[in-house]
Structure 1
Amino acid sequence: MEGLDTQARKRLDLAARAAWLYYIQGKTQDEIAGEIGISRQNVQRLVALAQTERLIKFRLDHELAGCLDLEKRLRDRFELVVCKVIPGESEHDENRTGVGIGAAEILEGFLAQKAPVTLAIGTGRALREAVRQMPAMSRPQHRIVSLIGNITRDGRASPYDVAIRLADRVEAACYPLPTPVVTDTEDERERVQQQRGYQTIRHLVDEAKAHIMGIGRVDWGSPLHADGFITESELADVMERGAVGEMRGWTFNAAGEVLSGGFLDRLTAMPLEPANSRTALVAGAGRGKVPAIRAALRGRLANALVTDEATARAVLALA
């Protein structure tokens, strides 16, 4: 399959996924169509393509076979509505390119819809890479709303803010949250949250079809501290109270319980609550993020995941 362009490669990947679901998991074409988000006729064509390209013998002859098995195990273990495991095991860069491509495919699926869609977006390096991997689109009917502020306490803008970048990429309406991630006092946070602009964004977040979020570890050198959003003493405080991960600034313990107190009482980000009817997706990979990903899935803070093979295996082993 060397020499294939990006579109041809993506189509073969999709054909492999459809073939796996059809032949290995025994799903009907209608079930596959609903799971992948395409028409039944497209499922038929993809399965036929998998046969033509000899992806199917007595086993699935494609590099995604191991990924698809991990996806199924993660879906079953954590009752996920969406799961994408991408090939690769790099630890040094947390496989951001691969995870970004996987997240971009999911974003593209939401944004390809003709009916207006509201997406709530977090921040982080993996999501910034996802936006970079997105094709340019014109989707003025959609709305992109930010889940977290983008300013440090000293006034610097976050380099990992994603909502504005994504909205610009797809020409959608953008609703950023131009507030400090953490305010100096609780009174200041209350004043910020009482502003009309904040209330508008809160309403849009509540009605969003999906929350797309990065996920971070909580330890010395973690982005939340290294990028200047919290102090060393504030980091030490949540670590002592058992924090293992954070999503949009909110820290949580190994059971997936969101913590409170300390700087969290001054956090302006939209509340982090268990996922119910909407898709709540986290994108991230790397050994350091395994406890955070496992906790987020265990506590239902996320019901969808994009990660890589090594991370998927580690999360399942830890679970």
Structure 2
Amino acid sequence: MSRVDNEPTPQDDAARAGWLYYVGGLTQDQIAAELGISRQRAQRLVSRAMADGLIHVRLNHRIGACLDLESDLTARFGLIRCRVSPNLGVATDPSIGIAAAAAAELERFLRMPSPLVIALGTGRALRGMVDAMSPIEAEQHRLVSLIGNIAPDGSASFFDVVMRIADKVRAPHYPMPVPVISPTREENAAFHALGPVRKVVELARAADVVFVGVGQMSNDAPLLKDGFVSRSELDEMQAAGAVGEVAGWVFDSSGKYLDFGTNHRTGGVRVEPGLSRPSIGIAAGPSKVGAIAAALKSHIINGLVTDEPTARAILDL
């Protein structure tokens, strides 16, 4: 049954409490008085506003330690761009901690008046980036996916981000209408022979800026967890030296793409090492350190948004 009155929902109350606390600067006692509730309920509502993603916090002060890490990473790997976010602690998903910095980096390009083609990978970190973005009118740009958006069961890939960004910025967008990984080389070639696919591929290859996640190829590999590769396929690629992947394309510890395994059947466009254009990796977490470092070594990515512990671990390798 649809609501026919103006009675607030629990999420309405949480949003109002979050607004009063984070924007209005009210204390929890003041929020309780304003809403006519107990202090304990006010505290729970403020916590829920944050937990439900109703509030996005951006830090406007650059912490000195983070600036030092950005400088060291830039010097070590010759980066075009580098952003290091403060540590949120071991109990927090690292992708949450870097989402706001990643969103700010993408918004920087979206606010440029000259038309750009912005190519995007997929994954949890990029989805967090999109969720943290502010709506922007950016109809002058075009958004294109680097990676197929069809999952093994035929459904849309859950972590595809092009459609989500397009909703926020009102820009023309071009999904990659192929499987993330095809069952055979022949099927992958057949998809890429289609005219509409060729046009999207050409657009992605000509992108002015690239944003990608960086996946690890350890036993918790995103490609395995999301059902794109089997356990035996992962074992074979690990034996061949696989440590990471970008847009589904797997590489070794030197950042060299493997001529092996699912790389023969991966849909979409590979990010080539040594691009002169920005190719920005969005990734953080202990399991990703080796993969990020390899992608930096070979310049698959020439920009990075990460967090303090990950930055330190990369520099310590």
TM-score interval w.r.t. the shorter chain?
0.7 to 0.9
Q: Distance in 2 between matches of 1:93 and 1:194?
A: 44
TM-score, normalised by the number of residues in structure 1: 0.80
Trace 1:52-71 onto structure 2 (pairs within 5 A): 64-71=63-70
Whole-angstrom distance in 2 between the partners of 1:92 and 1:267:
34
Taking only aligned residues, the RMSD between alpha carbons, in angstroms, comes to: 1.9
1:153 paired residue number = 152
The one-letter code sitting in structure 2 at the alignment partner of 1:194 is A
Shift in alpha-carbon separation, 1:79–1:97, aligned structure 2, 3 A = same
Preserved CA contact (<8 Å) 1:146 1:177: yes
How far 1:272 sits from its partner (Å)? 2.7
Residue 115 of structure 1: how far off its partner (Å):
1.4
2: CA distance, partners of 1:91 / 1:143: 37
**Number of residue-to-residue matches in the alignment:** 266
Q: Which amino acid aligns with 2:236?
A: D
Q: How does 1:248-267 map to 2 (within 5 A)?
A: 248-267=247-266
Q: Is this contact kept in 1: 2:275–2:300, CA < 8 A?
A: no
Aligned to 1:192: 191
2:220 aligned partner: 221
CA distance in 2, matches of 1:85, 1:168: 27
Matching of residue 312 in structure 1 with residue 308 in structure 2: no
Name the aligned partner's letter for residue 282 of structure 1: G
Q: Which residue of 1 aligns with 2:175?
A: 176
Please give the alpha-carbon distance, in whole angstroms, between the structure 2 residues aligned to 1:267 and 1:182. 4
What are the residue-to-residue correspondences of 1:77-156 with 2, within 5 Å? Answer: 77-156=76-155
TM-score by length of structure 2 reads 0.80
Identify the range of structure 1 (85-94 vs 97-106) with the bigger mean alpha-carbon deviation: 85-94
> Does structure 1 retain, via aligned residues, the 8 Å contact 2:88–2:97?
no
Unmatched tracts of structure 1, length 5 or more: 17-63
Q: Retained in 1: the 8 A contact 2:274–2:298?
A: no
- Whole-Å Cα distance in 1 between the matches of residues 213 and 315 of structure 2? 20
The answer to whether structure 1 residue 212 and structure 2 residue 211 are counterparts is yes
1: CA distance between counterparts of 2:291 and 2:88? 18
Q: Distance in 1 between matches of 2:170 and 2:126?
A: 17
Residue 75 of structure 1 corresponds to 74
1:179 and 1:93 mapped to 2: Cα distance?
34
Which residue number in structure 1 is paired with residue 236 of structure 2?
237
Hey, what's the Cα distance between the residues in 2 that align with 1:240 and 1:152?
Answer: 25
- Larger mean CA deviation between 290-299 and 82-91 belongs to 82-91
**Alignment partners' CA distance in 2, 1:204 and 1:112:** 20
1:213-266: CA deviation from partner (whole Å, max 9, x where unpaired)? 001111223110111111111111110011111111111111110112222101
Question: Deviation at 1:290?
Answer: 0.3
State the identity as a percent: 40
- Closer, same or farther: CA 235–148 of 1 in aligned 2, 3 Å: same
**Counterpart in 2 of 1:286?**
285
Amino acid at match of 2:114: A
The alpha carbon displacement at 1:137 in A equals: 1.3
SS of corresponding position for 1:178: strand
1:147 shift after superposition:
0.3
Q: Which runs of 4+ in 1 moved over 2 A?
A: 3-6, 9-13, 89-94
Cα distance in 2 for residues equivalent to 1:89 and 1:256:
28
Aligned to 2:268, the other structure's residue is in SS state coil
